[in-house]
Amino acid sequence: MLFVFPFPLNQIPKSNVVLKYYDQFLEFITLNVGKYVLGIQETFKNAPNGSGDRLYNWANYGTILVLAIVITLIWTVLDRKRTSYRLWSKWFVLLVTYYLAAFMFSYGFAKVFYLQFRFPSFERLFQSYGHSSPMRLMWTFMGASKTYTVFAGMSEVIAGGLLIFRRTRVLGGLVAFGVMFNVFLMNMSYDIPVKLFSFQLMAMGLFIALIDYRRLLNLFVLDKNSLPPTIHQPIFRTRRNHLILIGVQFLLMGYVLYSNISWSVDAQKRYGEDRPKPALYGIYSVNKFVKNGQEQPPLATDTTRWNRLLINYVGRASIMMMDDSYQRYRVKTDTVKRQMTFSTRKDTVNKYTMKYELVGKDLKLKGVLKKDTLDITFKHYPLKNFSLINRGFHWINDVPYNRYKDGY
């Protein structure tokens, strides 16, 4: 229960105004349990940074486990005369089920709308495998295939949909377990810091499915199907209360679906496939580079000469140097005056305006950047030059096309 709370209260709009006090209390308990009970000597704190496997997360899971054991023991002693918790058990299963369904929808729609894993950026298309971290490699190969990414997302969405309804809940648990088992293995194999949470979701899927373990055993092992279902039994016996519960469930999951889909549609327009493209969108390779009146030859050891100009996103540009390092700038393009105004991310006060000229698809850039007078001629670099883009799909492959560039 503690692993799930404050769900579903946190689905209520503006609920964070109140629930933040619970989060602060749990953080206080975690820091002290981690230090005095779990014996963590080094300093740690709750500073979210995208990783779910921080030392704080491990301490938090340990704290929740300790609290759950202590509360269970106290409850057992105080309520020792009770012989059964059938009603509480049903509520617990329902809570875990909808918690799991909510995250299946959240992760699923992020993939279906091609947001969690997006097609590799221009920078990434020029980066090599060997210098990539395992996590970045995984993010790249997932994003390289929209088809597989959407399929993975649909698998999660289907699992969430099956979990909502009592008659398909066991199947939903099985599908969620299978999907999250694959996600957990990916996280373990590519050192992706969501190992704890993916294991938690995987375990929840298995828990929901195994509530009907006898029927599953009969169906898959003994080839029998004679036992009545256990998970499908309604919580309330009266029709009125049953309909009220259905209404609450409908509102909850309706809001979860609406919030995930609306967020995904909006995100797709802001930074997904439907985002606006910059005026000079594309990759430009340097043909001629003149700095302060002197032409610089394309030497691989030259750390000051430009190699390529990458314009992938509105307001941003990356300059790939000859040594494959990058200089990144904020850019404002004026298509009327044909000017590009550069500024660094750390210094937005000093701005450098350069004149540009388009010759067909090629580009010329002239002006002062920082303290250097530059006159650069670019050749447009077609995206179809990348095998990852131009290869496409083939039903017939007489020879395996397993290559890097033009070699093997």
Final residue of a domain: which of 230, 245, 271? 271
Under 8 Å between Cβ of 175 and 134: no
CATH number, domain of 326, equals 2.40.128
For 279, 342, 392, the CA distances from 124, given in Å and listed in that order, are 21, 22, 19
Mean pLDDT of 48-60: 91
What is the reported pLDDT for 228?
63
Neighbours of 149 (CB within 10 A): 22
CA distance 394 to 385: 18
Q: Which of 196 and 37 is assigned the larger pLDDT? A: 196
What is the reported pLDDT for 180?
98
What is the reported pLDDT for 402?
86
What is the reported pLDDT for 5?
86
What is the reported pLDDT for 150?
97
Rg (CA), the chain: 28
1: pLDDT strictly greater than 70:
yes
What is the DSSP secondary structure assignment for residue 383, as one 8-state letter?
G
CA distance 251 to 248: 5
Residue 327: which domain range? 282-387
What is the reported pLDDT for 72?
87
Asked whether residue 62 is assigned to any structural domain, the reply reads: no
407: pLDDT strictly greater than 60:
no
As a whole number, the mean pLDDT across the chain is: 90
Do both 182 and 267 map to the same domain? yes
Mean pLDDT of 69-80: 87
pLDDT band at 348 (very low <50, low <70, confident <90, very high): confident
pLDDT band at 7 (very low <50, low <70, confident <90, very high): confident
DSSP letter string over 41-95?
A: -S------SS-S-SHHHHHHHHHHHHHHHHHHHHHHHHTTT----HHHHHHHHHH
3-state secondary structure of 313: coil
CA distance 254 to 232: 21
The residue behind tokens 């503006």 is 14
Do both 116 and 154 map to the same domain? yes
For 113, 142, 381, 388, the CA distances from 403, given in Å and listed in that order, are 30, 18, 21, 10
Asked whether residue 289 is assigned to any structural domain, the reply reads: yes
Asked whether residue 382 is assigned to any structural domain, the reply reads: yes
What is the reported pLDDT for 43?
79
- Token pair for 36: 């005095």
What is the reported pLDDT for 182?
97
Asked whether residue 10 is assigned to any structural domain, the reply reads: no
What is the reported pLDDT for 307?
97
Do both 240 and 365 map to the same domain? no
Q: What is the pLDDT of residues 356-401, one digit of tens each?
A: 999 999 999 999 998 899 999 999 999 999 999 998 889 999 888 8
Q: What is the pLDDT of residues 77-125, one digit of tens each?
A: 888 777 777 778 888 899 999 999 999 999 999 999 999 999 999 999 9
Asked whether residue 360 is assigned to any structural domain, the reply reads: yes
Asked whether residue 29 is assigned to any structural domain, the reply reads: no
Nearest to residue 325, comparing CAs of 288, 300, 362, 353? 300
What is the reported pLDDT for 15?
85
Do both 180 and 328 map to the same domain? no
Do both 90 and 238 map to the same domain? yes
- Token pair for 134: 């395992």
327: pLDDT strictly greater than 90:
yes
Q: What is the pLDDT of residues 163-185, one digit of tens each?
A: 999 889 999 999 999 999 999 99
Do both 265 and 307 map to the same domain? no
Query: For 167, what's the count of Cα atoms within 13 Å in the CB-facing half-sphere?
Result: 0
Do both 306 and 205 map to the same domain? no
Final residue of a domain: which of 224, 239, 271? 271
Final residue of a domain: which of 213, 246, 271? 271
What is the reported pLDDT for 345?
83
Q: How many domains does the chain have?
A: 2
406: pLDDT strictly greater than 70:
no
Do both 259 and 306 map to the same domain? no
The share of the chain scoring above pLDDT 90, in percent, equals 63
What is the reported pLDDT for 229?
60
DSSP letter string over 253-282?
A: HHHHHHHHHHHHHHHHHHHSTTSPPPTT-E
pTM exceeds 0.75: yes
What is the reported pLDDT for 166?
86
Asked whether residue 14 is assigned to any structural domain, the reply reads: no
Asked whether residue 357 is assigned to any structural domain, the reply reads: yes
Do both 189 and 252 map to the same domain? yes
Do both 313 and 196 map to the same domain? no
Q: What is the pLDDT of residues 227-262, one digit of tens each?
A: 666 555 677 778 888 888 889 889 999 999 999 999
Mean pLDDT of 42-64: 88
Do both 294 and 264 map to the same domain? no
Do both 369 and 297 map to the same domain? yes
- Token pair for 341: 């105004």
What is the reported pLDDT for 111?
97
